[in-house]
Amino acid sequence: MPFNTKLTRALGIKIPVVQGGMQWVGYAELASAVSNAGGLGILTALTQPTPEDLRKEIRRCKTMTDKPFGVNITLLPAMTPPDYGAYAQVTIEEGIKVVETAGNSPGPVIKQLKAAGIIILHKCTTIRHAESAIKLGVDFLSIDGFECAGHVGETDITNFILLSRARQSLKVPFIASGGFADGQGLAAALSLGAEGINMGTRFMCTVEAPIHQNIKEEIVKASETDTELVLRRWKNTSRLYKNKVSQEATKIERESTTGKFEEVAPYVSGKRGREVFINGDPDYGVWTAGQVIGLIHDIPTCKDLVERIEKDAEDTLNQASSLIIPRSKL
């Protein structure tokens, strides 16, 4: 049974499941498969080297699906930042209806996209940041709990508390991100007030995910304890898959007497992380993964995964409803 939430109505999707933007993973193959399955697939803008390459990827995705899909634009600190405005302009020109934004100082990009009538889904790790995003005019918030992969923020608040705080405080609809892999998780998120869920790591471990089979199998073998927090010393904390490189990085971070980021920088290079997904060596570089890896035990197609999530969420909500004893009529 299709779900009916503010998210599904606004985006024209069947299931309130968003495939989060992931660097080196959010290509047309995955985004189109998620959208065809009834969720919202997301292309990652900065995975493409130039705005014109993003244009080509959007057009390629359109040949694979006639369903809605979005684009992720993440703004991160950099010595030479990308031309975010140009990536946003291509997104507008190609008729994309929804953009997932994240990162620092997104105001100018959000203003540019909103002027074109694009729906904005903004990722936040705190209620304070969510309230700031609301002032910028975002349409939906993606509330990222501490369980999530990648940038987890510095407050260490998990989703059970964070989603309840969002329900209490926010006047804009939100979805839940971090720790979701199945229908029971979707049912829990909806019960806590979310309009849907965002999944990243779970979609990495699907047939259509454009990463090496070895990495998918590594995720299946992993447990919820097989992630590691790095860069906490520099208040840029990221959750990574625990491997030889991440462990060396945390050792340097912990033992450094200078506190200089340059000491650890070679170990957290994104370029080596990209190679992991290509060559299949899980220890070649660092790569992001959420604690949800402990809930992932197979490598399904996106269609099978989304359909399973839909059925399990419906069954879970029906089961919960059956626990309520009707009040006797007076």
The closest of 79, 210, 200, 106 to 151, measured between CA atoms, is 200
- pLDDT, one tens digit per residue, over 128-180 is 999 999 999 999 999 999 999 999 999 999 999 999 999 999 999 999 999 99
Q: What is the dihedral of CA 223, 315, 32, 112, to 10 degrees?
A: -90
Phi then psi for 153, rounded to 5 degrees?
80, -170
pLDDT, residue 1, reads: 55
Three-state DSSP at 328 gives coil
Residues 6+ apart with CB under 8 A from 263: 252, 256
Tracing tokens 């369903």 back to the chain, one arrives at 67
Domains defined for the chain, CATH in brackets: 6-210+304-322 (3.20.20.70), 213-279 (no CATH)
- pLDDT, one tens digit per residue, over 195-234 is 999 999 999 999 999 999 999 999 999 999 999 999 999 9
* Sign, CA torsion 292/294/299/301: negative
CA distances from 114 to 36, 55, 69, 91 (A): 26, 19, 17, 12
Q: What is the pTM of this model?
A: 0.96
CB-based contact 7:175 (threshold 8 Å): yes
Amino acid at 60: R
CA distance 35 to 193: 24
